[in-house]
A and B are shown apart, each in its own frame.
Chain A
């Protein structure tokens, strides 16, 4: 029963977020700030993780191919497939649920417990539009982050491959060009956009509707991470079933 109530509140929040828009001159600033905090601020960690995990995927694949009949270019092919289809869109989004998600929940939650949200509402400002909408707009740039993750994941694989002598650079490059299916990119970016929406709204929900004090802000961040991840994993399953099978 409580779950149904929460899900209902979540969808009402999304409707409310688009109503009574904040003055554009103010909104512009908020969007720029959120692009800086949420998107630009995540590129570093995403780049770091992508590069090294890409490398590890390559090493694991290479080590598991011991049949001399299988071409070495398969290492590149396998890395490309796992990075583009799952690692970059899904795995990075789970990490973002931790980084961006808990930032959103704790910053909105702090505004709730210190009555800053009440202060906005007293002034007749639609606090959901003021706080959540710019995050939603900022995260429409999230696909750029994922493109970087894809690129660096594949580059990390290349580096690991050459550095560890698992295959030649030519083999790897042949591999990553093999049987390229453009729809896989579309699939990956459809997922990414949906995850971006989840990353902007689920943590905002947990911050906006929280009650209590500083301790509860911490709890809300944790709960928000768990639920954001669960929603991303479930959506990933449903979308994969729908789009790829």
Chain B
């Protein structure tokens, strides 16, 4: 479980996060949604310790990240997997080497053990016969799978994904979403996903935190987001006509 209390973050004069509190539970896919530029990435990077923040507290199972010693932080980092928006695969390495990289860094496994483990997770994300390819030779959907494989290869307790399905076609996007959800439940990981994709919200939103103007404007789940009367949420969720229609049908069905 991750607890965030009153998180504030600025860049110079730009106050990006203005005091955000929430919790993310284990075994659940927690979604952070909001418009482009609403601070989702900044929020995630604060959670990861990539950005310093001015105020607030971030605790992993009660341990405050900022208060850990260097060695403890390194230990903690070994338990975190991250899928970046653009996959962020190392382009000088093959797909297999990318997936083996965290093992090489954090474990004392032999080369063949690492290869076995890499093959196992590549299989898990349904990617076969691509081990020796370079990331530049893989499609966007494949790169995303590799990024997920690299993020989970060292059995993380926490998984962070920044817009994991941006730039993918809708079908592949749903496959990736479901893959993340399955893995989260299978290994009981605390997963936090940034997205502005309403399909993801409906498919996998166990918990949803809605950011607007640097504040948490709403919080709920995929079941409650359709019923809420909160205007900022409905404005965002039903910005497309398709979703307006879906909502009407949903409410009729359930009444």
Interface set of A (CB-CB < 8 Å, partner B): 23, 25-26, 33, 110-111, 114-116, 118-119, 121-125
Q: With contacts A114-B88, A124-B74, A124-B77 known, is A119 near B82, CB below 8 A? A: yes
Inter-chain CA distance A203–B95, complex, in Å, is: 28
Is B48 an interface position by the 8 A CB rule?
yes
Is B183 an interface position by the 8 A CB rule?
no
Asked if A23 and B88 make an inter-chain contact with CB atoms under 8 angstroms apart, the answer reads no
Q: In the complex, what residues of A have CB within 8 A of residue B84's CB?
A: 115, 118-119
- Majority secondary structure of chain B interface residues (helix, strand, loop or mixed): mixed
Task: Tell me the residues in window 59-109 of chain B with beta carbons closer than 8 Å to chain A beta carbons.
Answer: 73-74, 77-78, 80, 82, 84-86, 88-92, 101-102, 104-106
Asked if B86 and A119 make an inter-chain contact with CB atoms under 8 angstroms apart, the answer reads no
Q: With contacts A115-B84, A115-B88 known, is A123 near B77, CB below 8 A? A: yes
Q: With contacts A26-B105, A116-B91 known, is A122 near B77, CB below 8 A? A: yes
Inter-chain CA distance A121–B104, complex, in Å, is: 15
Inter-chain CA distance A219–B105, complex, in Å, is: 33
Asked if B45 and A124 make an inter-chain contact with CB atoms under 8 angstroms apart, the answer reads no
Inter-chain CA distance A110–B92, complex, in Å, is: 12
Q: With contacts A115-B88, A116-B91, A118-B45 known, is A123 near B102, CB below 8 A? A: yes
Inter-chain CA distance A26–B86, complex, in Å, is: 25
Is B50 an interface position by the 8 A CB rule?
yes
Asked if B91 and A122 make an inter-chain contact with CB atoms under 8 angstroms apart, the answer reads no
Asked if A125 and B85 make an inter-chain contact with CB atoms under 8 angstroms apart, the answer reads no
Inter-chain CA distance A124–B72, complex, in Å, is: 11
Interface centre among A25, A116, A124 (most CB of B within 10 A): A124
CB nearest neighbor in B for A26: B104
Task: Tell me the residues in window 24-74 of chain B with beta carbons closer than 8 Å to chain A beta carbons.
Answer: 45, 48, 50, 73-74
Inter-chain CA distance A125–B49, complex, in Å, is: 13
* 18 sample A-B contacts, Cβ–Cβ < 8 Å, listed by A number: A26-B104, A111-B90, A114-B86, A115-B85, A115-B88, A116-B90, A116-B91, A118-B50, A119-B82, A119-B84, A119-B88, A121-B50, A122-B82, A123-B78, A123-B101, A124-B73, A124-B74, A125-B105
Query: B105's contact among A110, A118, A121, A123, by CB below 8 Å, is which?
Result: A123
How many whole Å from B235's CB to the nearest CB in chain A?
Answer: 30
Inter-chain CA distance A25–B50, complex, in Å, is: 26
Q: In the complex, what residues of B have CB within 8 A of residue A124's CB?
A: 73-74, 77-78
Inter-chain CA distance A124–B82, complex, in Å, is: 12
List 8 A-B pairs, minimum CB-CB distance, nearest first.
Answer: A124-B77, A115-B88, A119-B88, A115-B84, A124-B74, A122-B82, A116-B88, A114-B86
Known: A26-B104, A123-B77, A124-B77. 7 other contacts (CB 8 A): A23-B104, A25-B104, A33-B92, A118-B45, A119-B84, A122-B48, A123-B102
How many whole Å from A32's CB to the nearest CB in chain B?
Answer: 13
Q: In the complex, what residues of B have CB within 8 A of residue A26's CB?
A: 104-105
Q: In the complex, what residues of B have CB within 8 A of residue A116's CB?
A: 88-91
